[in-house]
Structure 1
Amino acid sequence: MADAKTGLVLGYDGVHPFARVALSDRASVQDLLRTLLDPLEPFFSPQKARVRCPGATAVRFDQTASEVEGICRPLWGLACLLAGGGEYRGTQWWIDGIRAGTDPDSDEFWGFPRDNDQRMVEMCPLGYALAVAPQIWEGLSERERGNVEAWLGNSINEKNMPNTNWLWFRVFANLGLKKQGGKFSQERLDADIEHLNTFYRGDGWSNDGPEGIHQMDYYSSSFAIHFLQLLYAKLAAEDEPERAAEFKKRAQLAALDLVHYYDKEGRSIPFGRSVGYRFAMVSFWGAIAYADIELPAPLTWGMVKGIVLRHFRWWQTQHDMWSPSGTLTIGYSYPNMYMAENYNSPGSPYWACLAFICLAVPETHPFWTSSEEDPWPVIPKVKALPQPGHIMSNLGGHCMLLSSGQACSYPMKGTHSKYGGFAYSSAYAYSVPPGLFTLEQYALASQLGLSDDGGEYWKTRRLSTSSLETRGAGADASPVLVSLWTPFPDVAIKTYLLPPVPATPNWHLRVHHIRAGRDVMTADGAFAIANQRTLDGRYLDLYDAARAEGTSPKLIGNYDLSTPEAWATGAAGAFAVSKGAVGIRALESKAGGVVRTATLVNADPNSNLVESRTTIPTLQHTIKQGEAVWYISAIYAKPSGEGVPKESYLDGWEALPQVPAWLVDEISAS
């Protein structure tokens, strides 16, 4: 690491210190955190009140608020480290920064928040830090503590806030002051928690908003609601035992659902907004240890420890997520503004520091004393989750969720990709549109697109009404997601999502009944997969069994789409093999339906969260005005992984899944 004037510089093929930490115990995770905090040093302002992370991108709020994010979000990690008795050489930077940032007479004053101000979000890590790291409060004079009270408590208690998880941020602003004997509002704290309780829907799940909104992503678990409920349960247990007990009970219920979102490789399923917070997706598991939860069977602390450490290890393999100076970038596995939200500033990714709540867990806790990272939990291979509207699958080498009915309630970039997709996988991340012209830019991974203008612009599922049903009987009974949606006013679609079955674990079924009041082209996309040859990184060639790599049919560039070699029948399907294999085949001919064609869509670069160059096996067709058709799409996915030979990637491709009898009957009766 370079000195403080130059900071860390990652040159050609450089490896971040984050990747070099051998994770095994609490001390190693402390070291991992320090590799995140150290590169921030050159970007502190003279009085330390602001951190201007590399990157000049603008957000929907002002530059000062962006730089307040820069100092406050890493405070999640520092506060957890200090709460657990750890040390950091730069702790005084944050104490000095809080002193200057809350002082109205300082040139680096943060400014009092207005209604719905981003500063309110950053009050949450500051409130938690005050509650658990007394050296921060003790490092301030009486006058400076008054400034903190005025900025952290008085100002936020008088302002309007979004009717979402944000209300928890005001709770923690008051709680931090309460813990240090400062001026706070118990009335406001109680009112906010009582209102937040109206977001609770059952089975351990809270919605990120009031009645009428269906949005249950990582904000419902690791990013905000469950995470902060558990921190509150820990900190308020003596004063409010009943409230703490309720929050713990919800966590116990949710844990048996949330375990399905993390796979044996350490990956979590990217779903919804703000996944640029990266390893914050695993924060829930550290928080249940912090709150002294009694784990529900079959979970053990060794399993929970394994979930957390494997997750960190997977992120250690993502070498492109750093700026050259060693700070986190906006993006996922690499810098990517296409997937960013309008509130993601250069300092925003440090919400990832929530994952270090495990450092506040005492070293005597079984989370740390478990000598082994126990084997993956014995959990159902397929499980329906009524509250989020998901069917979870742990078959075929990856964790996958099928989803219907969720939608963001306000304008969001790529919202149809983040919530309206049919399937989300831990092995094959979702894609977002880098442009709005032709399929290559729409990048319809796990989505059905419809176009009424010859293929220039495409509509996909965003808003839908959905139901989680059980179809079949006895041993053949299975959960099915059914959704109704209308991409155009005169085009009605009923979609069925069927999870994998043990006989064909690498396939799931996606069925659409479409009634068209106009001519529409359709494009049904499989998962996106890396479009790079192992040999030299160039685009994939026609499939070569000897190398176990390539596509079928031939992958053609964006300018040669009419080339006959680029197309196959829908029954033959299309597949791509690189990091595992993905593909799609049309089964409707077996039920007397239409005939579609298959091809590979060469998605625009940087559309996918994990792979910067991807291709998407896709089925296409044109429906004429007045027609009603059934599509039965079988989607194949077999990820690469330890113990999975390359030559086995297509082993299941010819073993097609069965179309259930109930579905055949329903199609016949329509």
Structure 2
Amino acid sequence: MSHHLPPHGSAAQVAPVTSASDRSGATGPEARAWLAGYADRLLAGVRPYASPSGSLITLPGTPGGYGTAVDGLEGFARTFLLAGFRLAGEDGADPTGVAERYAAGLAAGTDSAHPERWTRPEEHGQAKVEAASLALILDMTRPWIWDRLTSDVQERTVEYLGSVVGDPDYPDNNWVWFRIVVETFLRSVGGPFSADDVARDLAAHDRFRRADGWFADGPERSFDHYAGWALHLYPALWERMSGAAEVAQAAGEDLAARSASDRRHLERYLDDALALVGSDGAPLIQGRSLTYRFAAAAPFWAGAFAGVGRPGQLREAATRIVRHFADHEVPGADGLLTLGWHHPWRPIAQRYSGPGSPYWASKGLLGLALPAAHDVWTAAPEPLPVDDGDVLTAVAAPGWAISATRDDGLVRVINHGTDHALPGSDGGDSPLYARFGYSTATSPLLDAEAWTSPLDQSVVLLDAAGRATHRTGFAPPVVTTGSAVVLTSTADAHWIDADLSAPDHGSGRPGESTPAGRITTVSLVRGAWEVRLVRVTASAADAVALRIGGWAAGPGLVSTLVPLLGDIAPVCGETTSDDATPLAGPTTTPWSRYAPVPDGWTAVGVHLARTPATGHPRLEITAGQAAVTWPDGERTTATLP
């Protein structure tokens, strides 16, 4: 649920608007024309890096963890997505000849004897991902590419894609949709497919469903942008594919009934997803694969394809996200997307990321596949939730409180339910998932130290050497709402001797775990403030101090940590990190350190805004109740565990 609340803290006005904000509220035709030009620039930027046949697009930069051959396939398949969207949305009109170029690349890539052939799905798992993009666009652009291929190229393409049929080696996460899409296309052109494969993959998709329209990306508490740019996107496109009804029926499913359920799930998800977009178009900086950037716009276009949500608002959210990156000079002068966020920043990459990987951002331009006469382009623009007023909502599935403030346009998430792990795990914290806070204007610290020693948005025990504990595996949160959102979670804190050689897929580092103590954390969230109460029980003898960290803030932001309660006066300080996030400039993180480890409750006020806070919350604890008086005079009480 969402509450529109009075302004909190500083009465300062919004910071000067960017050109993205200047463009917000553009008419549909204006927005479509701008996006089309942006897409065409991206497609033009990669042309010099195509191989002679066009089958491989190998972009400059250090090769990805899977090697140059996979990089070249990614470069082709992910830009093929964008070329296909442009072609479909213009009903085949093709002034720059993308259909011919990509058809030539398809002919060479599927030819096992060609020196520029593609890595095959049975040779490397990443080819299974890229095969889905090939199949999706071959279906979407059928009259202009597939139907014009020679019969031998069609046969080779079916043989290449058909190698996924019956393959048991698909991860139990969003990958299940890659096989569904490929086998649906194969069925539509008379190729092989497996009803058992599709049935298993649809059942897996259903296992990933969570409350209020959310998906987890697999069995773990993996809540991130994959919910929207994969697990909601593919069902919205699949139901439109040729042969989808027949494939569903063979798998024992009724496509119409399943699609209706998927649409309802998407519609509910969009309520939360819209609240996660900052007024400047910035998406939440949380989760893996952040280098896909404006792929975060994909679920809003999925809503347009599925016919759910308000078209003018969906368009506004999606285009504002793309414009956010354009305003930060993405792509650069060479027209290329790099591994990074606002600028090239290689540490944002996971092991699977290569120089072609960022072009999954193409999904954020999916709306161009819809014709100019579609509702999403003809509807009047509508504001985002943060434009209308402060937003405060509890999201049960990921265990989040979403708090957006209209005066500065920031969206903050306080996290008690997401760690990319299972309850009871004793692995390391991933900065991308397990921190207590994320926002649209800050990044978690992502340098090497951040993976082994949590500082920002953390509550940790320290040993005599200064080693910080991790909280991954904490008990599921308790969430209550009222004039504030209250979240409670308990972690069996542990030290980790991390195995730094383990492949990086975004999860915390595995390693040898040592128990350190139990930490209960309660967050009361309202506006730009979080009141964070902490209690440590059964701490190990090696735990010599408790440390609480606030927001890691860069230039133009103010991060504040105010002690509110405790018998021990903390040592307060701040740590400045250079080049520890994909955002420009140094990052400063305030912290409070309590030694020895306190008995009973300790509390701090945690604040993030563009200007300093005026006043701070006041806290009283009596008879197991925490009572917070907020700076605007509103009062919230919560029962302490």
Per the normalisation by structure 2, the TM-score is 0.82
Aligned to 2:444: 430
Cα deviation, residue 130, structure 1? 0.9
Aligned to 2:233: 227
Amino acid of the structure 1 residue aligned with 2:231:
I
Residue 582 (structure 1) aligned with residue 559 (structure 2) = yes
Amino acid of the structure 1 residue aligned with 2:108:
A
CA distance in 1, matches of 2:259, 2:373: 22
5 Å-filtered alignment, 1:119-198, equals: 119-134=127-142, 135-198=144-207
Aligned to 1:200: 209
Aligned to 2:99: 91
Cα deviation, residue 450, structure 1? 3.4
CA spacing shift, 1:436–1:416, aligned 2, 3 Å: closer
Kept in 1, the 8 Å contact 2:474–2:489? The answer is: no
Aligned to 1:537: none
State the SS of the aligned residue for 2:105. helix
CA spacing shift, 1:20–1:72, aligned 2, 3 Å: farther
Kept in 1, the 8 Å contact 2:534–2:601? The answer is: yes
CA spacing shift, 1:442–1:182, aligned 2, 3 Å: same
* Identity rate, percent: 23
CA spacing shift, 1:668–1:343, aligned 2, 3 Å: closer
State the SS of the aligned residue for 1:68. helix
CA distance in 1, matches of 2:228, 2:215: 8
Aligned to 1:252: 267
Which of 517, 520, 527 is residue 491 of structure 1 equivalent to? 517
5 Å-filtered alignment, 1:271-290, equals: 271-290=286-305
CA distance in 2, matches of 1:429, 1:314: 16
Cα deviation, residue 631, structure 1? 2.4
Aligned to 1:454: 465
Cα deviation, residue 55, structure 1? 0.7
Query: Which deviates more from structure 2 when the two are superposed, residues 329-338 or residues 161-170?
Result: 329-338
5 Å-filtered alignment, 1:36-435, equals: 36-59=42-65, 61-85=66-90, 87=94, 88-114=96-122, 117-134=125-142, 135-210=144-219, 213-222=220-229, 224-235=230-241, 240-293=255-308, 295=309, 300-319=310-329, 322=331, 325-374=334-383, 376=385, 381-395=391-405, 397=408, 398-409=410-421, 416-435=430-449
State the SS of the aligned residue for 1:73. helix
Amino acid of the structure 1 residue aligned with 2:557:
G
CA distance in 1, matches of 2:418, 2:528: 25
How many residues get paired? 568
Cα deviation, residue 182, structure 1? 4.0
CA distance in 2, matches of 1:270, 1:357: 21
Aligned to 2:602: 631
Which of 514, 536, 541 is residue 514 of structure 1 equivalent to? 536
CA distance in 1, matches of 2:352, 2:592: 35
Cα deviation, residue 159, structure 1? 4.4
CA spacing shift, 1:136–1:587, aligned 2, 3 Å: same
CA distance in 1, matches of 2:79, 2:362: 6
CA distance in 2, matches of 1:464, 1:668: 20
Cα deviation, residue 332, structure 1? 1.5
Kept in 2, the 8 Å contact 1:21–1:32? The answer is: no
Query: Which deviates more from structure 2 when the two are superposed, residues 355-364 or residues 21-30?
Result: 21-30
Cα deviation, residue 312, structure 1? 1.4
CA distance in 2, matches of 1:615, 1:655: 20
Amino acid of the structure 2 residue aligned with 1:654:
G
Residue 599 (structure 1) aligned with residue 573 (structure 2) = yes
Cα deviation, residue 621, structure 1? 2.7
Cα deviation, residue 522, structure 1? 3.6
Cα deviation, residue 27, structure 1? 2.2
Cα deviation, residue 45, structure 1? 1.1
Cα deviation, residue 50, structure 1? 0.9
CA distance in 1, matches of 2:414, 2:450: 25
State the SS of the aligned residue for 2:346. coil
The structure whose RCO (Cα within 8 Å, separation 6+) is larger is 2
Aligned to 1:540: none
Amino acid of the structure 2 residue aligned with 1:416:
S
CA distance in 2, matches of 1:271, 1:668: 30
Cα deviation, residue 113, structure 1? 2.1
CA spacing shift, 1:20–1:201, aligned 2, 3 Å: closer
Amino acid of the structure 1 residue aligned with 2:544:
V
State the SS of the aligned residue for 2:595. strand
Amino acid of the structure 2 residue aligned with 1:581:
V
Query: Which deviates more from structure 2 when the two are superposed, residues 341-350 or residues 518-527?
Result: 518-527
**Stretches of structure 2 lacking an aligned partner (at least 5 in a row):** 1-19, 247-254, 496-514, 628-636
CA spacing shift, 1:660–1:27, aligned 2, 3 Å: farther
CA distance in 1, matches of 2:442, 2:374: 35
Kept in 1, the 8 Å contact 2:337–2:359? The answer is: yes
State the SS of the aligned residue for 2:210. strand
Cα deviation, residue 109, structure 1? 1.5
1:336-377 Cα offsets, whole Å, 9 max, x none, are 232321111111111110011101122112210124344647
Amino acid of the structure 2 residue aligned with 1:74:
T
Amino acid of the structure 1 residue aligned with 2:531:
L
Across the aligned residues of Structure 1 and Structure 2, the Cα RMSD in angstroms comes to 3.0
Amino acid of the structure 2 residue aligned with 1:72:
A
CA spacing shift, 1:115–1:602, aligned 2, 3 Å: same
Per the normalisation by structure 1, the TM-score is 0.78
Kept in 2, the 8 Å contact 1:466–1:482? The answer is: yes
Which of 616, 619, 627 is residue 655 of structure 1 equivalent to? 616
Cα deviation, residue 429, structure 1? 2.4
1:460-504 Cα offsets, whole Å, 9 max, x none, are 333311222327xxx65743232323124132111112211xxxx
CA spacing shift, 1:84–1:669, aligned 2, 3 Å: closer
CA spacing shift, 1:667–1:384, aligned 2, 3 Å: closer
1:277-300 Cα offsets, whole Å, 9 max, x none, are 10001110011102223x2xxxx3
Cα deviation, residue 655, structure 1? 3.3
CA distance in 2, matches of 1:628, 1:425: 31
CA spacing shift, 1:48–1:339, aligned 2, 3 Å: same
CA distance in 2, matches of 1:67, 1:524: 45
Aligned to 2:634: none
State the SS of the aligned residue for 1:466. coil
CA distance in 1, matches of 2:453, 2:584: 16
Query: Which deviates more from structure 2 when the two are superposed, residues 489-498 or residues 369-378?
Result: 369-378
Kept in 1, the 8 Å contact 2:472–2:491? The answer is: no
